Amino acid sequence: MCLFCKIVNNEIPSNVILEDENFLAFHDINPKAPVHILAIPKVHVDSFDDVKPETMSGFTSFIQKVVKEVKIDKTGYRVITNIGDNGGQEVGHLHFHILGGAKLKWGHFSDADPMNNL
């Protein structure tokens, strides 16, 4: 069973923010911003590449509830999902990072020259 499935099953503790029948949101153990939450489907999905549109529609509303719950909906936030090796995905269970609570940085995402493919 994967790490996040163990969190869903309460085999590994987590700091839960919001939960419903299908989704769970908890604090990232290694936060990269003042607010850093992970939102996951309770059912195992490897990554965004495999998620069904019908799951995403509920997931979208859930994430919108989470950001209201932690009161970053008005100030703004960022939602990221890493996919596969180049995407930097470390945990193989679909998760969206929700980052906020301060002005977030934006910059180059790789060492490769971003102008090279134009």
Which residues are annotated as catalytic? 95
Q: Report in angstroms how near the CB of residue 93 gets to Zn ion at its nearest.
A: 3
Q: Which of the residues 40 through 79 are near ligand 5GP (CB under 6 A)?
A: none
Q: Do 98 and 35 meet the contact criterion of CB atoms below 8 Å apart?
A: yes
Which listed option, ligand 5GP, Zn ion, none, makes contact with residue 2 (CB within 5 to 8 Å by class)? Zn ion
Strands (E), the chain: 16-19, 23-27, 35-41, 77-80, 96-100
Binds ligand 5GP (CB under 6 A): choice among 89, 94, 98, 100: 89
Residues near Zn ion (CB under 5 A)? 2, 4-5, 44, 93
Closest CA to 22 of 5, 43, 4, 37: 43
Strands of 35-41's sheet in order across? 16-19, 23-27, 35-41, 96-100, 77-80
Binding partner of residue 89 among ligand 5GP, Zn ion, none, CB cut-off 5 to 8 Å per kind: ligand 5GP
Which spans of this chain sit near ligand 5GP (rule: CB under 6 A)?
3, 12, 14, 26-30, 38, 82, 88-91
